[in-house]
Structure 1
């Protein structure tokens, strides 16, 4: 009986030791296959640095729903924007990562190539943005409005309307519309993009 008990304990110890060893081997063995990581994106600080080198100022902006009247409602998210101001008081805003992108973006192509877009009795900047397959809308009613402004903003007029494209690139909707008409607001962005923009 004692020999059987001792044998059982020895077998149990052997099995347990094998399991422990196997677990240890698995823990230190090769890692399971994982898909390759996506290429590293520019960091916000690198995009802000590019903005500064082009003569702009980087500023974190948040989206606001403005609707009608004086109401302004902050929405989720934020974006590093690059702002260029001119001595005439005009300004243009573009997402810092759009300006600093290594490859052309839809916003950059729209700015440089000035595609034709519809005119509208409503807000011409929003109509133009939509007409070239972007969006600046914050709702589906004509009275819905919104834009990107500094944190803790309380003045709806400080929320800049921006045109966003399917690739995520963002540019000032009015700046885009004015540029289409040959008017430069803030600065001419044509040669400030990191990427080489066809047609520039």
Structure 2
């Protein structure tokens, strides 16, 4: 193709918003400062964990941790996590780490959900007590007024932060969803058959 034709095609492509990718065998110095990579729209790919979440009927969301204390105080913390949220027709929800749901092998959170181990009850927050009783943690401090959870970015209402039980292998699941499931109540969705890995029941 003549140089003038290549230039004309490139101009038309830019005007129409499409990218022209030259044949790698004929493109001069592709990837270098002379040739450079082909221009085009930036595409955000869906992670494999988010894709598995969606396949199971959930919605993948990026959530960040928040520290909460007495009143309406809420402090965003560092880090973020891709969570998978399931919402039932009655409005109940359950949240689980997208990587926990899509893991190729069983995780401690998945085992806790499927096996329903016995844990202590507490006059305080029963979901936190149950989580701690099966060797997880959902605590954001060591005082009774310390609290926290995971929510969307720029969250202002501390009551919307969902507590999550995290285990030693890094797997995480909704603390209330775990506690309710132990008592035979399904919130959001029954995750038993939604894990990618086969979870042994014994």
Please, which runs of 5 or more residues in structure 1 have no aligned partner?
1-42
Instruction: Quote how far apart the aligned CAs of 1:44 are.
Output: 7.0
Residue aligning to 1:183: 185
Rounded to whole Å, the distance in 2 between the matches of 1:165 and 1:199 is 18
Instruction: Quote how far apart the aligned CAs of 1:47 are.
Output: 0.2
Mapping 1:74-85, distance limit 5 Å:
74-85=76-87
Rounded to whole Å, the distance in 1 between the matches of 2:73 and 2:144 is 16
Greater share of helix: 1
Rounded to whole Å, the distance in 1 between the matches of 2:173 and 2:46 is 17
Residue aligning to 2:136: 134
Name the SS for the 1:189 alignment partner.
coil
Q: What's the C-alpha RMSD, in Å, of the aligned pairs?
A: 1.2
Instruction: Quote how far apart the aligned CAs of 1:68 are.
Output: 1.4
Residue aligning to 1:96: 98
Pick from 139, 143, 146: which aligns with 2:145? 143
Instruction: Quote how far apart the aligned CAs of 1:67 are.
Output: 1.2
The two structures have a TM-score, normalised by structure 2, of: 0.77
Aligned residues: 158
Residue aligning to 2:60: 58
Residue aligning to 1:199: 201
> Given that residues 83 and 94 in structure 1 are in contact (C-alpha distance below 8 angstroms), is that contact kept between their aligned partners in structure 2?
yes
Rounded to whole Å, the distance in 2 between the matches of 1:152 and 1:127 is 28
Rounded to whole Å, the distance in 2 between the matches of 1:62 and 1:132 is 24
Larger-gyration structure (1/2): 1
Name the SS for the 1:101 alignment partner.
coil
Please, which runs of 5 or more residues in structure 2 have no aligned partner?
1-44
Residue by residue, what CA displacement relative to the aligned partner does 1:168-190 show, whole Å, maximum 9, x if unpaired?
00000000000000000000000
Residue by residue, what CA displacement relative to the aligned partner does 1:88-121 show, whole Å, maximum 9, x if unpaired?
0100000000000000000000000000000001
Mapping 1:145-184, distance limit 5 Å:
145-184=147-186
Rounded to whole Å, the distance in 2 between the matches of 1:68 and 1:100 is 36
Q: Is 1:115 aligned with 2:138?
A: no
